Structure 1
Amino acid sequence: MQQIRTNCPLDCYAHCGLVAHIQEGKVIKITGDEKHPVNKGLICSKGRFKHLQRLYSKERITTPLYKTSRGWQPLSWQDAYLLIAEKLTKILDTYGPLSVLHHDNGGSEGILKSLSHRFFNALGGCSRPVGSICWGSGYQAQLYDFGKLQLHSWEDILNARLILLWGRDPASTNIQMLPLLQQAKKQGVRIIVINPLQVASCSLADWHIAPRPGSDGALALAVAHQIIKNNMVNRDYIEQYVYGFDRFRELVRNFPPEKAATATGVPAEQICRLAEMYGSLSPACILLGYGLQRYSNGGQTVRAIDALAAITGNIGRAGGGVNYAGGHWKGLFSPIDGRELAFTGRKLPWPVLADAILEAKDPPVKSIFVTRSNPVTQLPHTGRVRQAFGQSEFTVVVDMFLTDTALLAHLVLPCTTFLEETDVVYSSWNHYLAYSPQVVPPVGECRSDHHIFSDLAQVMGLPDFPRRSPEAWLTEALAPLAPYGITLEQLKNGPVRHPLAPDVPWQGGGFATPSGKFELYSQLAASDGVNPLPIYQEPVESPLRDTELAKEYPLHLITAHHPDYLHSQFWNLSEKGRQRQPVYLHPDTAASLQIQPGQTVEVATRRGKALFSAFLSEKIRPDTALIYQGHWAAHGNGVNHLTAQYIPDMGLGTPYYDCLCRITAK
C-alpha cells in the first residue's frame, strides 16, 4: 500500500499534515502525519473521514452541467468553455468588465487558487467583494493597534502564567492546540474561558465567564479601569512602547465594573477578580476567537482587549501577546494573480454584498462567477442574496456539488479536491508552508481551478495567462523565498517554517504604526474616520440600545461554527446534516416559552423566519439561542435567512451575531 504525505487545505488553524493511503489507484484511508510539526499526527473528523467521503461521494458533480428548461444537462468541457466565452464576451462588450462579479473566498486554500483572479485581471478587471465574512473587523483592529498582524508560536503558551481563551474554543475548532493547553495546565498555568456559551474548552478552564453577547468590549474596558485604578500597569512599558495612554485612561475612567456589569451581565466582583488575575499573573496570553468581533462593534471590542496587553506590558514578551491572526507570509511570495493586468476594478462591501449587487449601477452586475465559496448559504440575509443572484444574466459556479449557490447558476463546473491536484498551502495561524502533491487522478472529468481558468484563458485568447504547469506557477510564486533556502524541491521533503517569523513578536517594539508604538489612540483610525480610541457602543440589535426591538425579538442569536463541519462544507455527506436544524435553548427559556425538547419551533427575526427543532442545554445563556451556521437551504435549513446585513465599526467584517430573534412553538 502506497502512502503519500499531503496537507488539509481547509481554512482553519492548522492545515494539518495528512497521509493518504493508496490502493489500486484509490484513496482508501486518511491518517494524520506524525512528522508534521503543527498537528503531529492529530487530526479531526473532517481530515480523517469527511475528505474521503467527499472524494468518492455519489453526489459529486463529475462533468460540466448547464441549466436548461429540461433541467441540468451535461456538457463537454470544450462546449462549456465556448459557452462562457460567448456569454462573457457579449456582457463585456455591452457593459464592460465591472459588470462581472468574481466571488472567491477561502473554501480551499492554496497558492494556485489565486490563478482564478489572474483570469479576471487578464480580462481587464472585474467587480469583487471587499472586507471579510470571517475576521475583517478584528483584523483591522489589530492593524490600527500594532500596524500589522503577528502571532506567537503555539508553543509559547507554555511560557504563560495565565491564558485567556477569549471567544476561542480550541477543543472544538483547534484540537491541534489541545496537547499544549493540557501541558500548560499541568504546569500550573491558569486558564480562563470568556464566552457567552459554555463551550467545550471550558473542560480545561479554571473559570468560565459568560458575558452577554456583543458586550466583550465593555468587559475589557472595565478590566482596564481596575488595572489602572489599582496601579497594576507596566509604566516602563507604557512610556517606551505605548502611544495614547493618557487619553485611554480618561476613556476607561468612566467605565467602572458596576457600569460594565449592567452591559455584560457579569457581576462587578467577577470583573474585579478578572482584572486582579490578568494584572498580577504575568506573563499572560490572550487567544482571541472570531465570534466576539461578529457584531457591529466588533473592531473596537478587539482593540479594547488588545489594550489590556499593552497597559500591562504583555506584548513582546514570551508567554504574552494577543493572538488573533498572522500576516507573516504577506509579501514573501511573488504574486501570480495578474494584479498588474487589470485596468479597472470595483469593490463591493462583503457584509452587505447582496444589497451592493442589487444597487450597483453604471454598470449593473450582469454576470457572477463563484469559486471556493457558497455565498447563497453563507452570506447574511439569504432572501436578499437570492434576489441578487436572480438578476445575474449568466452565473457560473465552480464546485464539487450542487450547493445552494450552484442551484442558482446557469453553468456549474466540477472542480477537483486537494487529493486530485497539486498546490502549496500556508496558514494565517501558524508559521509553516507545505507542499501538497496530487495523490490520485481526478474523479470523472473534474478539473482543478488552475486547469479550468488556464483553459478558459486560451479559448478566450488572453495572452497574459500562459498555459503553464502547476509546478511552473509554484516555482514562480516561491522565487522570493530562494534566498532563505526555501524552494519547491525542498518543500517536497516536508513543511518548512517561515524564515522570518519570530516566536515572540514585537520584542523591542518595532510596531508598524505611525508612531512606531502600540497605539491605544490610533492615528490611522482617526484618518479613516473611525474613533481612534477603543470605545464601547452597544451592537445595533442590542436590547440595551433598541428596547422596542427587544420587546418583539428578545433573544440574542449566535450562529457559531460546528466542530464537525467547515462553514457549509460536508453537511450534505450525512443524513444528520440533512435533517431539520437544531436551535439550542436554555431549559428556563424553553419553559417560559412552553417549548418541549425536540419540538418544532419557529425562529424569526426582522429578515425572515424558519423552522427548527428545539434542543435544551444549560450551556446556553437564558437570553440567547444558538444555531450552527452552514446548513444548506436545499435541505430545508440555513440560518442566514435570519441574519442581518450591517456595516461594522471597521474592517468591513460581517456582523452575523448582531441579531435578535423570537422563538415560538409550532
Structure 2
Amino acid sequence: MKDLDRKPITNSHWGTYWVEAENGEPTGLTPFEHDPDPSPIGPGMVETRRDALRITRPAVRRSWLEGGPGTAGARRGSEEFVEVTWDEVNRLIADELQRVRRDHGNKAIYAGSYGWASAGRFHHAQGQLKRFLNLVGGFTSSVNTYSFAAAEVIVPHVLGDFRSFLDRMTSWESIAEHCDLFVAFGGVPLKNGQITQGGTGAHVQKAGVLAAHAGGTRFVNVSPLRADFLDRVEADWLALRPSTDAALMLGLAHVILSEGLHDRAFLERYTVGFERFAAYLTGETDGVAKTADWAAAITDIPADTIRDLARRMARGRTMISVAYALTRQDHGEQPYWAAITLAAMLGQIGLQGGGVGFGYSAMNHTGLNRRQVPYAAFPQGQNPVPDYIPVARVTDMLENPGGTVEYNGRTLTYPDVRLVWWAGGNPFHHHQDLNRLRRAWAKPETIIVNEWCWNSLARHADIVLPCTTPLERDDIAMSPKDPFITMMDKVGEPVGEARDDHEIFRGIAAAMGVEEAFTEGRSAGEWLRWLYDLSRQAAARGRIELPTLDELRREGWHRVPAPEKQTVMMEAFRADPEARPLKTPSGRIEIFSETIAGFGYDDCPGHPAWIEPLEWLGKAGAGDALHMISNQPKTKLHSQIDHGSLSRADRVAGREPVLMNPEDAAKRGLSEGQIVRLFNARGATLAGLRISDEIRPGVIQIATGAWYEPAGETCVHGNPNTLTPDKGTSKLAQGPIAHSCLVEVEAAGDVPPVTIGVAPPVIVRGG
C-alpha cells in the first residue's frame, strides 16, 4: 500500500467502503459516509481474501498436463491439479493457442467471459482478455446478457434502442413528485438494487421508493413474491401465476380499449401498428378476445381485480415498471413489448412520473438522476473473427458444432470450439440445465480460466490462472451509471503468486511475441493515468470539471454534480417526434413491427402476444408440480463471495434455502428447516426448507448463486440451475428462460455432505 494521508478507499459493484488496514493488510471495510443504505456484502472481500479457497499459484489439471489437450474431458470437476510456474504456464498456453489457431482457426476459440469481476475501469478481466485475443487473431464472441437478453433484442425493434433507455430511466424524484400509481411487474426488489455494474457510490432505491410513497404514489406489486416490494409502502399484491405477465397486460389493455380509456391522439402521433394489435386484442384475428376474464383464467388474478386496476391506471399518472426477470421466462420478449404498448395506450410515455420503466431496483442506477459522462475504457481493439452466438446458447454451441440457430432475423452457424477461455465470470452460475452444460463442457480440448478462488468454474477448468482481488491492485471506479468516481487503493500485496489480469496477459503476450502491442509500452499505472486523462477531457467537452488524478488520489473520491432537471425517459421524443424520432424504421413506437413479422417466426409474431410457456402452472398435465422462481440472491452478487460469512449465515444446514407456501408444505408433509430434494427430468438439488405465506401457493423460490457441487445429477449445495430449462426465449432473442420451470419437491433421503468449501487436491511439485 502506498503512503496516503487518508484512509484507503475501495469501490465495488455493491458499494464504496473505507478500508481498515494493519501492517499493510486489509482487516475490514467501513461503509462510505455518503451511502444512506450500504450493502452488507462488501466486507466479504476481506474475510475471503486469504481463506483456504484462495488460488495462490498457477495450476493445471493433471491429465491435461500429462496427456495434453483433449485428455481431460469428463475428469473436469473431479481430478486433482498440479501447480506450475508462471513461465511454464505461459509457454503451455502460448503453444496451445498456436496449435488451435493453426489447426482450426481463431473461431475455434470461445471467449465467453461473461462477468462482473471488478468495478475498476482498468482491471476489467473481460476487457483485458478480449484485447489480448484480438491481438492474436480473435475469437468467437457472444452477444446479449443473461439478465435481459429478450429485452435487448425486442426493445430496439419497438423503441429503436434499449441500452440508452436503461441509463435514462425516469428518475425517482420525478416519480415522487408526479406519479399517482406505480404498477411493478416483477416488483421492485431492493435486494437487487444493492449493485450497479461498474461501481456504486450511494444506494438510492430504498430512498426513492419511500419518497414516492410519502409523496402519495400508490404501488402495485405484480409478483408471486410479496418480498419483491418493501413492506412499508403497503403495495397491493397481485400474486399471479409465474410466466403469465404478458397475459395480464393484454387483459388490462383490453379493458382500456373496450372502455374507451386509451389515448387515441398519442397512439396516432407517436406509434404505428396499433390497429393490427387491436385486431388481435379483440379477437378479430384469432377468434379469442383477450378480455379480463380470459386473462383471469391464465393468471389466476380475478377478472374484477384486472378491470379495477386498468381503470386506476387510466385515471391518473401511471408508471409501468417491468423487472429484468420478466425477460428470463419463455417468450420473455412479450412482457416488455406488451408493457410498452400498454403505456402507449395510456398516452403517458415521455411525461413526468409516467410511462414505462425497465427494471427499477434491478440495479442501483435505475432511476438515479445523474449526468452521463463518457468515461474512457481500456481499448480492446477489433475482433477479426465475425462469428458470435447469443450468450445463453453456449451449451448448444458445444454440443452442435456446425449446427445452426435462428437469431434476430439471421441464421448463425455454431463454430467447432476447441478452446474456451473465461475471465471474470462463472457459467456454472449463470447458465441453465447445468448437468447438460457439464456434459457439453467435457467436449472442448482445453479450458482456461482466470480466477481467484476455487469456485465451480475453476474446478471445471484445465488451466487455472490465479488473479488478484480489487484490494490487491490500484484502479479507479468511474462509471456513467454512477455519479461517484472513487479510487480503488491497493491495500495488500497479492496472495501467493497471484497476478492482476493485465500482468497475466502481458506474460502470455510476451511468450507469443505481442507484448509491445498489448501493453503499448505502458505500465498498469500509466494505463490508469491515460484512461483518466481521456475521461477528464471527455467530461470537459460536456462542461463537467473533474479533478486531476493526483487530486482524486489525495481525496479518494469525487462526486459529479446532478443535472439541473429531472430525467424523464423519452421526454425529447414526446416533445417533438419529428425532430427527435426514434431509431425504429418508422421513427415511432412500433406496436406492430413489420421487421419482426417479416422474420416469420412462429414463436414471436409482429405484435405483443400471449404464447403459452414451455412450463407453467396452467400447463396440461402439470398436476401438483410447483413453479420454481430462481431469482437473484440478497447475500452476494450472482455467485461472488458465496463462501463468505454473509452467504453462509443464510443457509439451512449448509444448503441454499427454498421458500414454500404453508399449503404446499402441508400437502407434502414437509416442515421448517427440513432438507428437501427439488427435482425434475433435468436434475435435482438439495435445499433447506423455509415456510412462509409471503409466496403464493404453487410456487417455490430459491436464489441463484450457490456454487455448483454435483453428486451425479444432484447439486448437494442448492444450485437451482440443475433444474432450469436450457431453451431460448424465442427465435428472435434466444435468451434464457430460467423462470419458466416446473419441479417436484420431496423430503431428502440420504443427505451427502457439502464439500465445496474445501479446495480440490493440488499437487505441489517436489513436495
From the superposition, tell whether residues 90 and 53 of structure 1 become closer, same or farther in structure 2 (CA, over 3 Å).
same
Confirm whether residue 142 of structure 1 aligns to residue 155 of structure 2: yes
Q: Which residue number corresponds to residue 271 of structure 1? A: 306
From the superposition, tell whether residues 367 and 607 of structure 1 become closer, same or farther in structure 2 (CA, over 3 Å).
same
2:237 aligns with one of 191, 198, 208: 208
| SS state at 1:398 partner | strand
Q: Tell me the distance in 2 between the aligned counterparts of 1:390 and 1:436.
A: 41
User: What TM-score results when the alignment is normalised by the length of structure 1?
Assistant: 0.90
| SS state at 1:303 partner | helix
Q: Tell me the distance in 2 between the aligned counterparts of 1:56 and 1:523.
A: 57
Correspondences of 1:92-131 after superposition (within 5 Å): 92-108=101-117, 109-112=119-122, 113=124, 114-131=127-144
2:588 aligns with one of 510, 517, 537: 517
**Offset of residue 426 of structure 1:** 5.7
From the superposition, tell whether residues 237 and 6 of structure 1 become closer, same or farther in structure 2 (CA, over 3 Å).
farther
Q: Tell me the distance in 1 between the aligned counterparts of 2:41 and 2:353.
A: 31
Q: Which residue number corresponds to residue 23 of structure 2? A: 24
Q: Deviations over 1:509-561 (max 9, x none)?
A: 132222221221134433554422111111111343x413x14x722111111
From the superposition, tell whether residues 292 and 482 of structure 1 become closer, same or farther in structure 2 (CA, over 3 Å).
same
Correspondences of 1:167-206 after superposition (within 5 Å): 167-174=186-193, 176=203, 177-199=205-227, 201-203=229-231, 204-206=233-235
2:740 aligns with one of 658, 661, 665: 658
Q: Tell me the distance in 2 between the aligned counterparts of 1:432 and 1:651.
A: 32
1:431 and 1:497 in contact (8 A); partners too:
no
**Offset of residue 63 of structure 1:** 2.2
Confirm whether residue 288 of structure 1 aligns to residue 322 of structure 2: yes
**Offset of residue 292 of structure 1:** 1.7
Q: Tell me the distance in 1 between the aligned counterparts of 2:120 and 2:570.
A: 28
For 2:94, give the aligned amino acid.
A
Confirm whether residue 563 of structure 1 aligns to residue 634 of structure 2: yes
1:315 and 1:321 in contact (8 A); partners too:
yes
Correspondences of 1:175-574 after superposition (within 5 Å): 176=203, 177-199=205-227, 201-203=229-231, 204-253=233-282, 254-282=289-317, 284-324=318-358, 332=374, 336-340=378-382, 342-361=383-402, 364-425=416-477, 430=481, 432=483, 434-444=485-495, 445-462=497-514, 464-466=517-519, 467-468=521-522, 469=524, 470-472=527-529, 474-475=531-532, 478=535, 480-485=538-543, 489-490=547-548, 492=552, 493-496=557-560, 503-509=567-573, 510=580, 511-529=582-600, 530-544=604-618, 546-548=619-621, 550-551=622-623, 554-574=625-645
- Structure 1: gaps of 5 or more residues: 11-15
For 1:539, give the aligned amino acid.
P
For 1:146, give the aligned amino acid.
L
Q: Which residue number corresponds to residue 702 of structure 2? A: 627
Correspondences of 1:636-655 after superposition (within 5 Å): 636-637=716-717, 638-649=719-730, 650-655=732-737
2:248 and 2:295 in contact (8 A); partners too:
yes
From the superposition, tell whether residues 442 and 305 of structure 1 become closer, same or farther in structure 2 (CA, over 3 Å).
farther
**Offset of residue 146 of structure 1:** 1.6
2:249 and 2:339 in contact (8 A); partners too:
yes
Confirm whether residue 46 of structure 1 aligns to residue 41 of structure 2: yes
| SS state at 2:29 partner | strand
Q: Which residue number corresponds to residue 586 of structure 1? A: 661
For 1:534, give the aligned amino acid.
P
Q: Deviations over 1:580-639 (max 9, x none)?
A: 233222111122222233333322122122333332221222211212111112382221
**Offset of residue 375 of structure 1:** 0.8
Q: Which residue number corresponds to residue 7 of structure 1? A: 11
2:185 and 2:221 in contact (8 A); partners too:
yes
**Offset of residue 165 of structure 1:** 2.6
**Offset of residue 379 of structure 1:** 1.0
| SS state at 2:94 partner | helix
Q: Deviations over 1:1-20 (max 9, x none)?
A: 9423432135xxxxx33333
Q: Tell me the distance in 2 between the aligned counterparts of 1:499 and 1:402.
A: 44
1:95 and 1:363 in contact (8 A); partners too:
no
Q: Deviations over 1:83-104 (max 9, x none)?
A: 2112222222221111111121
1:72 aligns with one of 78, 81, 90: 81
Q: Which residue number corresponds to residue 66 of structure 2? A: none
From the superposition, tell whether residues 259 and 432 of structure 1 become closer, same or farther in structure 2 (CA, over 3 Å).
same
From the superposition, tell whether residues 22 and 528 of structure 1 become closer, same or farther in structure 2 (CA, over 3 Å).
farther
Please give the root-mean-square deviation of Cα atoms over the aligned residues, in Å.
2.8
1:136 and 1:654 in contact (8 A); partners too:
yes
1:17 and 1:41 in contact (8 A); partners too:
no
Q: Tell me the distance in 2 between the aligned counterparts of 1:398 and 1:224.
A: 49
Q: Which residue number corresponds to residue 176 of structure 2? A: 158
Q: Identity of aligned pairs, percent?
A: 26
| SS state at 1:92 partner | helix
Tell me which moved more, 20-29 or 185-194: 20-29
Q: Tell me the distance in 2 between the aligned counterparts of 1:398 and 1:607.
A: 29
Q: Deviations over 1:207-244 (max 9, x none)?
A: 11111000000111111111222222223322222222
Q: Tell me the distance in 2 between the aligned counterparts of 1:502 and 1:61.
A: 47
| SS state at 2:295 partner | helix
For 2:322, give the aligned amino acid.
L
From the superposition, tell whether residues 135 and 194 of structure 1 become closer, same or farther in structure 2 (CA, over 3 Å).
same
From the superposition, tell whether residues 490 and 226 of structure 1 become closer, same or farther in structure 2 (CA, over 3 Å).
farther
**Offset of residue 333 of structure 1:** 5.6
User: What TM-score results when the alignment is normalised by the length of structure 2?
Assistant: 0.79
1:130 and 1:349 in contact (8 A); partners too:
yes
Q: Which residue number corresponds to residue 754 of structure 2? A: none
1:215 and 1:263 in contact (8 A); partners too:
yes
- Structure 2: gaps of 5 or more residues: 64-78, 195-202, 283-288, 360-364, 403-413, 574-579, 710-714, 749-767
Q: Deviations over 1:266-307 (max 9, x none)?
A: 00011111111211121x223332222211111111111122
Q: Deviations over 1:58-113 (max 9, x none)?
A: 42222222222693333332222122112222222221111111121232244432
Q: Tell me the distance in 1 between the aligned counterparts of 2:155 and 2:583.
A: 11
**Offset of residue 485 of structure 1:** 4.8
From the superposition, tell whether residues 351 and 422 of structure 1 become closer, same or farther in structure 2 (CA, over 3 Å).
same
Q: Tell me the distance in 2 between the aligned counterparts of 1:660 and 1:201.
A: 24
Tell me which moved more, 121-130 or 357-366: 357-366
